[in-house]
Chain A
Amino acid sequence: DVVMTQSPLSLSVTLGQPASISCRSSQSLVHITGNTYLNWFQQRPGQSPRRLIYQISNRDSGVPDRFSGSGSGTHFTLNISRVEAEDVGIYYCMQGSHWPPFTFGPGTKVDIK
Chain B
Amino acid sequence: QLQLQESGPGLVKPSETLSLICTVSGGSISSSNYYWGWFRQPPGKGLEWIGSIYYNGNTYYDPSLESRVAMSVHMPKNQFSLKVNSVTAADTAVYYCARHLSSNWEGPDSWGQGTLVTVSS
Contacts and interface: CB of A to CB of B under 8 A. Distances in A.
Nearest to B94: A48
Q: Is the interface of A mostly helix, strand, loop or mixed?
A: loop
A31 interface: yes
A104 to B, nearest CB: 5
A104 B114 contact: no
A51 B47 contact: no
Interface string A92-105: 10101101111111
A60 B109 contact: yes
A23 to B, nearest CB: 13
B60 to A, nearest CB: 4
Contacts of B111: 48-50
Contacts of A37: 104-107
A69 to B, nearest CB: 13
A104 B113 contact: no
Interface string A80-113: 0000000000001010110111111111000000
Contact of A100 (B47, B60, B107): B60
A94 B52 contact: no
Question: In which size bucket is the chain A interface?
Answer: 20 to 34
A76 interface: no
Contacts of A105: 46
Contacts of A49: 39, 47, 96, 108, 111
A41 B113 contact: no
Contact of B47 (A41, A60, A97, A99): A41
Q: Closest 9 A-B residue pairs measured CB to CB?
A: A96-B105, A37-B105, A102-B49, A48-B111, A100-B60, A39-B107, A104-B47, A101-B62, A54-B106
Interface of A: 1, 31, 33, 35, 37, 39, 41, 43, 48-51, 54-55, 60, 92, 94, 96-97, 99-107
Interface of B: 37, 39, 46-49, 51-52, 60-63, 96, 100, 104-109, 111-114
29 contacts: A1-B63, A31-B105, A35-B105, A37-B106, A39-B106, A39-B107, A48-B111, A48-B112, A48-B113, A48-B114, A49-B47, A49-B111, A50-B111, A51-B108, A54-B107, A55-B106, A92-B47, A96-B106, A96-B107, A99-B60, A100-B49, A101-B60, A101-B62, A101-B63, A102-B107, A104-B49, A105-B46, A107-B46, A107-B47
